[in-house]
Amino acid sequence: MVIMDGKEVSEALKRKITAEVDKMVSAGRRRPKLVAVLVGDDGASQVYVGHKERACGQVGFDSEVVRMPASTTADELNAVIDRLNADDSVDGFIVQLPLPGHLSEEAVIERISPLKDVDGFHPETTGRMISGLDAYLPATPAGILELIKYYNIETAGKHCVVIGRSNIVGRPIANLLSMKGYPGDCTVTLCHSRTADLKEIVRGADIVIAALGKAHFVTADMIKEGAVVIDVGITRIADPSKKSGFRIAGDVDYDNVAPKCSYITPVPGGVGPMTIACLMQNTLKAAERRTKR
């Protein structure tokens, strides 16, 4: 069994990005710049934005966090998005999700210029991706593909079962792995909360991608011997022994599932760091596009 080390792979990816930034700067171009908009005071969102800011520093990007109160109105948020769309010093920006309940995530995503949509959530970006055109891939699915490539995992003709149909993980990764070429050519089954016989379906999988957000949902009896298991889930579980008061659990019962796998991602340290590195990769791509425009 091989543990897919997202920390190691993401560091390698970030080193490549840093080298590209160094080249840009030596050629007299400015550094790529990523802005994160954070609305409200959700604890997990603050942590994620902090990680993104730190990664920007690591790869040599400029970055900025626009912090807005939970009471921010749609008009106020729209004004910030419009300003960032128009600001030539900003290559890409993200609006950290989830948003407070009174704000429409769909409306916000649609307002972001597809040119700066480094989260890859805009419907135009999704349409390009599904059509196999050049696009910013959403960072978590992109991170999963990078892990598969790094470990040279065979995908052609494999049965891949994705659990979870969100727009940001489940649906795009199911789509990408069904595409022609590597890493792809999988036969994909997309499972969700209304799937009948889910256990049976997962048992037939060569590759399992768990992205449902239910701690330790995937148990050893659901896994075929030798399967590849990629765990996207991040759930906070109360743990008084930790300073923070919680620990992070994945969607996979790692201790019991790992011995049956050929490859498995840990949580934390698997998909999470890859997601951040791939956001950096999209921002670099945005900066390269800008200099070509």
**Active-site residue (options: 14, 52, 116, 285):** 52
Tell me if 189 contacts ligand NAD by CB under 6 A: no
Tell me if 269 contacts ligand NAD by CB under 6 A: no
136 CB burial (10 A radius; 0-12, 13-18, 19+)? buried
20 CB burial (10 A radius; 0-12, 13-18, 19+)? middle
Tell me if 7 contacts ligand NAD by CB under 6 A: no
Spatial distance between the Cα atoms of 95 and 102, rounded to a whole number of angstroms: 15
Spatial distance between the Cα atoms of 291 and 293, rounded to a whole number of angstroms: 6
Which residue's CB atom is positioned nearest to ligand NAD? 213
Tell me if 178 contacts ligand NAD by CB under 6 A: no
**Taking the C-alpha atoms of 218, 222, 228 and 234 in order, what is their torsion angle to the nearest 10 degrees?**
0
Q: Is 52 a catalytic residue?
A: yes
76-84, 86-94, 185-193, 219-227 -> range binding ligand NAD (CB under 6 A):
185-193
Name the token pair of 30: 């400015």
Residue whose tokens read 């698997």: 270
Give the nearest distance from C-beta 253 to ligand NAD in angstroms: 14
Spatial distance between the Cα atoms of 113 and 93, rounded to a whole number of angstroms: 9
Q: Residue 116: helix, strand or coil by DSSP? A: helix
Q: State the number of binding residues for ligand NAD (CB under 6 A).
A: 24
Tell me if 147 contacts ligand NAD by CB under 6 A: no
Q: Is 46 a catalytic residue?
A: no
DSSP label of 222: G
Name 208's bridge partners: 161, 229
Q: For ligand NAD, what does the binding mask look like between residues 53 and 92, x meaning CB under 6 A?
A: ----------------------------------------
Q: Is 58 a catalytic residue?
A: no
How many Å is the maximal CA-CA distance in the chain?
A: 58
- Our CA angle for 68, 167, 170, nearest 5°, is 125
Q: CB count, 10 Å around CB of 31? A: 16
63 CB burial (10 A radius; 0-12, 13-18, 19+)? buried
Q: Which of 73, 89, 193, 244 binds ligand NAD (CB under 6 A)?
A: 193
Site for ligand NAD in 218-257 (CB under 6 A): 232-235
Tell me if 275 contacts ligand NAD by CB under 6 A: yes
Tell me if 138 contacts ligand NAD by CB under 6 A: no
Residue whose CB is less far from ligand NAD, 164 or 184: 164
**Active-site residue (options: 5, 33, 96, 117):** 96
Q: Which of 17, 209, 271, 284 binds ligand NAD (CB under 6 A)?
A: 271
Residue whose CB is less far from ligand NAD, 153 or 271: 271
83-91, 105-113, 186-194, 220-228 -> range binding ligand NAD (CB under 6 A):
186-194
Residue whose CB is less far from ligand NAD, 24 or 112: 112
**Active-site residue (options: 5, 117, 119, 206):** 119
Q: How far apart are the first and last CA of the chain?
A: 47
Contacting residues for 132 by C-beta, under 8 A, at least 6 apart = 179, 180
Q: Which amino acid is at 190?
A: L
Q: Which residues bind ligand NAD (CB under 6 A)?
A: 140, 163-166, 168-170, 191-193, 195, 198, 211-214, 232-235, 271-272, 275
Residues with a known catalytic role:
52, 96, 119
